[in-house]
């Protein structure tokens, strides 16, 4: 299969030398059993590369599983990966197979490997060196034949110097390194990617694709894209959904780029301590954008309803019916809805005076965040990985927030 065919098959867009080089290494290494370490910033496409390697390998008919080491609590990661025996810890009511057992013959993708606890790293090293592992609470050595592809957006070598990552494991994993380039290091791919996403979203939302003029293209190319392809995709979606005019010029585009809006946004309390890390900061900022866009949509819908009824007061019953139906959408949520069905928007035309009843709505950022998290979990049927991607936060952050807000979805 030539490179272009592989790109088409996996939906990879781009033709920069750095991307082609990374793809070349992935193709060449696929058919060996060597461990691969994929490095690159968040959102560059590391997971896509791991799938390419598996699908082009002799293991392609065997299982592939992606495990996010950053999202599994430290106390359960050994059991998830290597299994456990009944009674080996409180709550271990049955014995359980781990991924290294169930995926035997296939490939495991260990994402965010830098977050793996040191004890688990030692167990992983044994798998890589001898193909052996022991279930938690057992003394029986078991054999497995699993190919490991690991990924990190951190500098693992630096982690080894700090004692956070085993040096022997680092060199064992790093037999073949693949560096997926950041978007800002392959600027020529940016317009291609935007075009592709604009066409995809136009199809999804049944509207003409948005088009950038030359100046807007320049703005797009020169934006640093800290969230890489994932961020570009999000922005393309926001523009596709929210822009009435499909011809986008530079000032319009700038409104969608976080840096320009940033100063107008409130600051979350947790960000005011100087230690907040930049990635989480950006991710939380993305949540706020989503939140504002949702609110903007709500306000526009309400405005439209209000003016419709002003124009045609006899339609009030129909409008009210529609309003209550719309509010009913929230009823399934275990979290109190943003607008309670008992507080519908009622346009009161008594005495010919039209009044707009106050809508009691929580404006707390934390409430909104909780609500978005619940929505995302519902949308993705409880799949935390997909929900966290949709929310633009890491699975670990999502996990932390579920605990913090006491969400049991």
Of 84 and 233, nearer to ligand ATP (C-beta) is: 233
Binding range to ligand ATP, per CB under 6 A, among 91-99, 228-236, 365-373, 378-386: 228-236
How far is residue 33's CA from residue 11's CA, in Å, rounded to a whole number?
25
Q: List the interface residues with ligand ATP, window 92-121 (CB under 6 A).
A: 111
Q: List the interface residues with ligand ATP, window 288-347 (CB under 6 A).
A: none
Binding range to ligand ATP, per CB under 6 A, among 6-14, 55-63, 160-168, 259-267: 6-14
Q: Which of 107, 121, 153, 234 binds ligand ATP (CB under 6 A)?
A: 153
Radius of gyration of the chain (CA): 25
Q: Which of 23, 26, 37, 40 binds ligand ATP (CB under 6 A)?
A: 40
First to last CA, the chain: 43
Of 113 and 253, nearer to Mg ion (C-beta) is: 113
Q: Which of 37, 103, 182, 229 binds ligand ATP (CB under 6 A)?
A: 229
Q: Which of 41, 47, 284, 286 binds Mg ion (CB under 5 A)?
A: 47
Of 103 and 110, nearer to Mg ion (C-beta) is: 110
Q: Which of 23, 26, 44, 169 binds ligand ATP (CB under 6 A)?
A: 44
Q: List the interface residues with Mg ion, window 74-113 (CB under 5 A).
A: 111
The number of residues that bind ligand ATP (CB under 6 A) is: 18
DSSP element (H, E) containing 36: strand 36-39
How far is residue 69's CA from residue 173's CA, in Å, rounded to a whole number?
15
Sequence-separated (6 or more) residues with CB below 8 Å from residue 291? 365, 368, 369, 372
Sequence-separated (6 or more) residues with CB below 8 Å from residue 194? 212, 220, 232, 236
Of 44 and 248, nearer to ligand ATP (C-beta) is: 44
Of 47 and 80, nearer to Mg ion (C-beta) is: 47
Q: Which of 193, 238, 244, 240 is nearest to 220 (CA)?
A: 193
What are the residue ranges of helices labelled H in 67-155?
Answer: 77-82, 99-102, 118-130
Sequence-separated (6 or more) residues with CB below 8 Å from residue 197? 232, 233, 236, 237, 240
Q: Which of 172, 230, 322, 378 binds ligand ATP (CB under 6 A)?
A: 230
- Contact, 63 vs 55, CB < 8 A? no
């Amino acid at each position: 299969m030539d490179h272009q065919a592989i790109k088409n098959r996996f939906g990879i867009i781009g033709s920069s030398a750095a991307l082609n080089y990374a793809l070349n290494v992935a193709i060449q290494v696929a058919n060996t059993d060597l461990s691969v370490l994929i490095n690159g910033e968040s959102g560059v496409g590391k997971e896509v590369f791991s799938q390419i390697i598996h699908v082009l390998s002799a293991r392609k008919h065997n299982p592939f599983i992606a495990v996010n080491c950053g999202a599994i609590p430290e106390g359960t990661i050994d059991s998830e990966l290597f299994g456990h025996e009944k009674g080996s810890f409180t709550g271990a009511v049955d014995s359980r197979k781990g991924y290294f057992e169930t995926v035997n013959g296939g490939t495991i993708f260990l994402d965010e490997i830098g977050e793996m606890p040191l004890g688990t790293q030692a167990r992983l090293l044994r798998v890589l060196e001898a193909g052996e592992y022991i279930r938690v609470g057992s003394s029986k050595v078991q054999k497995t034949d699993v190919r490991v592809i690991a990924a990190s957006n951190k500098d693992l070598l630096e982690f080894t110097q700090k004692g956070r990552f085993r040096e022997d494991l680092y060199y064992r994993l790093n037999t073949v390194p693949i560096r997926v380039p950041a978007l800002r290091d392959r600027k020529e791919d940016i317009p291609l990617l935007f075009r592709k996403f604009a066409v995809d979203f136009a199809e999804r939302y049944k509207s003409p694709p948005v088009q950038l003029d030359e100046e807007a293209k320049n703005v797009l190319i020169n934006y640093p894209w800290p969230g890489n392809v994932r961020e570009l995709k999000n922005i393309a979606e926001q523009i596709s959904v929210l822009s009435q005019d499909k011809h986008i010029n530079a000032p319009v585009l700038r409104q969608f780029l976080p840096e320009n809006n940033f100063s107008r946004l409130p600051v979350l309390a947790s960000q005011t301590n100087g230690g907040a890390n930049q990635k989480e900061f950006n991710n939380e900022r993305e949540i706020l954008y989503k939140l504002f866009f949702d609110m903007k949509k709500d306000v526009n819908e309400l405005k439209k309803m209000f003016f419709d009824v002003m124009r045609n007061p006899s339609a009030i019953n129909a409008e009210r019916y529609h309003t209550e139906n719309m509010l009913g959408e929230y009823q399934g949520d275990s979290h109190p809805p943003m607008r309670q069905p008992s507080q519908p928007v009622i346009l009161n035309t008594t005495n010919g005076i039209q009044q707009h009843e106050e809508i009691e709505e929580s404006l707390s950022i934390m409430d909104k965040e909780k609500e978005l998290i619940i929505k995302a979990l519902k949308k993705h049927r409880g799949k935390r990985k997909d929900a966290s991607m949709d929310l633009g936060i890491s699975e670990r952050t999502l996990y932390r927030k579920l605990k913090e807000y006491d969400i049991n979805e």
